[in-house]
Structure 1
Amino acid sequence: MQHSYRQLAALLSKKIKAGQYQPGERLPSVRACAEEHEFSVSTVIRCYRYLEAQGLVEARSKSGMYVADWSESHVQQGSTLKSAAAHPPAVEYDKLISLQHRMTELYSLTAQPLELGLHLASAAAEWYPCELLAKIAQRQLRQHPMQIGAYPAGSGLPSLKNSLVQWLATCGVDLTPADLLMTNGSTEALSVALRSVAQAGDTVIVESPVYFGLLQMLENLGVKAIEIPCVSDTGMSLEALEYALEHQNGVRAIVTMPNFQNPLGCVMPDKHKKRLLKLAEQYDLALIEDDVFGDLSAQAERPQPIKAWDKQGRVIYCGSCSKSIAPAFRIGWIAGGRYQAKITSLKLSHSLITPLLEQAVLAEFMQSGALPSHLRKLRERLSASIPQVIAAVQRYFPVGTQIVSTAGGWWLWLELPEHIDTLALLRQSVSRGIAFTPGALFSSSGKYANYLRLNIARPWDKQMDNGMRLLGQLASAS
């Protein structure tokens, strides 16, 4: 039995393809369509969403639903997966530029009928050691089934903390297990780090462009952000930072991602890292370091974290296995130095304890010696995609498109010609089955409107090539 909205969609689709509704023509309002065809308003809404996912219609803000500039080739390119999604949730695109809503709206794209979801910072699932981790988990459950019924306690599983201390020592970070607190991913680590050093009304320094989740955290805390521009090959401009510190009162912390900055992908040179730390010391500031991508260097040597030079305990170091080993585990860690006691208290009041099963699996994986081999393969795969993606951008995207950075092989940060609004481009591309992250999300002021971040951490294949071609065509037509 076919759902009512599918019946109505089939009828309207037939009319569109027969030319009874021309491209650019406004469709009847939801209420008018419901009255004409004797369906409920909710049925018509579901129908229009379904047709939008098929690429046949498009929503225009505060205007209504219009027939898209469709063609058989457009519909066929995304038909397989689009037709499988009966009721994709609506994405309120205008809310993407709102700090309050951008995370919710961006993540809702994941539930859309997408062939290429290139909007989140996650690599292809097959690039992670999923089967090995699953075997370890099964063994853990067989050998220790009672751990499911035991209430966890403490700051983290000792065996995992020991393994992390040993691993971090290889990149110059000298810690003891007592210095580490396990968290629910780096998101919680950043959250408790911020809350430990700033409160509502305070100011922190952030990079620009910057990870949109950090901006939303700051807004929720009532903390003001000063955006310091980043340079594509060296990261945060230390000259601009020094000027801001000289002229701005009430700054409590600097938040930085010196290794493979999100979204630029750049690595800050060691001399800049040391100078940044000296500025934090000079102005008596906390330095919150997000190092979630640090293990993913294409070079033989992993870039050192700023924490490696911290002698005063003012660097709050945040890490995670979500990018490098197991995204689904949501295991992160924080070494708070002089702020550790407050961080621990905030963590306990926020989420108590980080689940132990995933920690146990991760600990055994690290103790087995499998981590270096896995990271080497992951880095090789990340690097291998870069030449094909660069060639595709040069081949398909409009003249004037600039590849700002490919460092790390995780994503591209692209600057499109100035007249192109990538938020509007996203609305078009999602209806064709492709999602990316528009540049406006990476600033609280809505800058970078003609930029986009494109996740390339996946195998290069025909699907990727077709997706890049279609995205380039849409951008050229904008």
Structure 2
Amino acid sequence: MQHSYAQLAQRLKHDLQRQRHQAGDKLPSVRQLATSEGVSTATVVRCYRLLETEGYVEVRAKSGMYVADWKAQQAARRTLQAAADATTPPPVRFEQLASLQHRMSQLHALTAQPLTLALHLADAEPGWYPCEALARAGQRLLRREPQGLGTYLTGTGLPALKKALIGHLARSGMDLGPADLLVTSGATEALQLALRAVTRPGDTIAVESPVYFGILQAGELLGLKMLEIPCVAGQGMSLEALEYALAQHGGVRAVVVMPNFQNPLGTAMPDAAKQRLLGLAERHGATLIEDDAFGDLAPGLDRPRPIKAWDRHGQVIYCGCASKSMAPALRVGWVVGGRHQRTLESLKFSNSLTTPWFEQAVLAEYMVSGAVAADLRRLRERLAATVPPATEAVRAHFPAGTRVAGPAIGWWLWIELPEGLDTMVLLHAAVRHGLAFTPGALFSSAGKFKHHLRLNIARPWTRELALGIKTLGALAQAAASHPAGAIAPAPSP
């Protein structure tokens, strides 16, 4: 049986195909169409989303829905598909790469071969981290407490680490005690526990759009429905769109946000917007799940406050980690659950029992050494230094109309290519040149952002990186300039 929103979309599509509306014509608003068709606004929203995904309509910010140039979009898709079919078959299928179920496993399969520049993951130059200091901390620890390796750790985290973390988080405005903090095996486990604590299969959560694909994976694993809320440059998640969604949907269990340097946009939410977001969540009874993985990497001396710093009613579940700022390989994270803290602890016990002793002990040893502030400052300076030359290289070598945005923390660039270019096809060509990036389609459960890509630049600016961006730009230029859609070989550097 076809759903009502699909039936409505089919009727509208039929009207468009019979040219009852021309490209650029404004379509009825959600409320107008709901009234005229005698359906709910939720049905119309899903109808318009389906038509947008299929290229028949487009959303214009603060203006409404308009008829897209759907004939041109379909022609471009056909030529790009012909280009993909004409090249050597890749080891994976691109449509699976874009699907929610297969996105990461297929990306890993495609990029498993040796690469000159693996710019598809959110990792940084290993030498930028205090690896020697961490190694010395580990050596001291093993000499002093070798029996720790034979200890089966229990509880909510190593007391020494929790004490160090409480002091560290106090600098961002969070007043915590040991009972408020649960140590986890990285931020991924923290996010998964947070979602499990407040949702059940079939529930709806609101997420940013574009959104970090790990959240989509976690939501899929738990059988959740993802309601994508657009992000606004310089503001983060659109609070107007969220407020409308919360009012109209009525069943959003949680709102998942990364307010401090959102992945992949890099947008930092102003303090006033953070407080307004907290108020919205409180009024509508939705738990706010805050991912603050990049908060410690803010440029300058002022570390942005997390939303949790304003939380007085336990509405926010705060997730953090050391993976981006201090020690990626240790895989240590933490969660502050407010009124959900006891539930999170029970779920952690059933999920992984505890976080390994050695990783926690090494991080605690390092944090009490007093070197964290200076090491973080050096890391921030190194990250920021690559942004100007990398941005300039993209503007110099990519097709006309390309737009590039990079977070102030300098971890990656979010690149928007001209409409019609499919970055999954581009990735296939790039891998053959030893390059990899993350296609934009991975950052949406609805398959949006197909002409976007995320490019990791968290490494020194070298001739190798400059040539890699130039080659990738040449491949994008070839895709944009060939009428048949074929991606010609990139010129030799």
1:220 paired to 2:216: no
Indicate conservation of the 8 Å contact 1:232/1:404, yes or no: no
Asked if residue 307 in structure 1 is aligned to residue 308 in structure 2, the reply is yes
Match of 1:205, SS state, is strand
CA distance in 2, matches of 1:103, 1:351: 22
State the secondary structure of the residue aligned to 1:447: coil
Q: 1:358-437 counterparts in 2 under 5 A?
A: 358-437=359-438
**Correspondence for 1:461:** 462
Q: Which amino acid aligns with 1:353?
A: T
Relative to the length of structure 2, the TM-score reads 0.79
The offset of 1:141, in angstroms, is: 1.5
The one-letter code matched in structure 2 to 1:259 is: N
Q: TM-score, structure 1 length as denominator?
A: 0.81
**How far has the Cα of 1:94 moved from its partner?**
3.1
Taking only aligned residues, the RMSD between alpha carbons, in angstroms, comes to: 1.7
SS in structure 1 of the partner of residue 405 of structure 2 = strand
Q: CA deviation at 1:387?
A: 0.7
Q: Is the 8 A contact 2:261 2:407 kept in 1?
A: no
- 5+ unaligned residues in a row in structure 2: which ranges? 1-80, 480-493
1:27-46 alignment runs, 5 A limit = none
Contact 1:437 1:452 in 2 (8 A): yes
Q: SS state of the match for residue 230, structure 1?
A: strand
CA contact (8 A) 2:387 2:406 kept: no
Contact 2:84 2:425 in 1 (8 A): no
Alignment of 1:56-455 (within 5 A): 66=88, 90-109=91-110, 111-455=112-456
Distance, in Å, in 1 between the alignment partners of 2:163 and 2:107 is: 36
1:64 Cα deviation from its structure 2 partner: 7.9
- Give distance in 2, aligned partners of 1:366 and 1:428: 44
Work out the CA distance in 2 between the residues paired with 1:221 and 1:235: 25
Once the two structures are TM-superposed, the CA of residue 147 in structure 1 deviates from its matched residue by: 1.2
**Higher mean displacement: 467-476 or 147-156:** 147-156
Alignment check: 8 A CA contact 1:109 1:435 kept: no
- 8 Å Cα contact 1:419/1:450 also seen in 2: yes
Change (3 A) 1:317 1:66: closer
Q: 2:29 aligns to what?
A: none
Matched residue of 1:206: which SS? strand
Contact 1:99 1:215 in 2 (8 A): yes
Give 1:406 deviation, angstroms. Answer: 3.2
Structure 1 unaligned runs (5+)? Answer: 1-58, 68-88
For 2:478 and 2:447, how far apart are their aligned partners in 1?
A: 23
Whether the aligned pair in 1 keeps the contact of 2:234 and 2:269 (CA below 8 Å) is yes
The whole-number CA distance in structure 2 between the counterparts of 1:403 and 1:200 is 37
Residue correspondences, number:
399
- How far apart are 1:404 and its partner, in Å? 3.1
Shift of 1:138: 1.6
Query: Matches of 1:63 and 1:288 in 2, distance apart?
Result: 42
> Residue 91 and residue 147 in structure 1: after superposition, are their counterparts in 2 closer, same or farther (change >3 A)?
farther
SS in 2 for 1:141: helix
Structure 1 residue 475 displacement after superposition: 0.4
Letter aligned with residue 147 of structure 1: G
- 2:168 alignment partner AA: W
Displacement of 1:92 in angstroms is 4.1
Are residues 239 and 364 of structure 1, via their aligned partners in 2, closer, same or farther at CA, if it must alter by over 3 Å? Answer: same
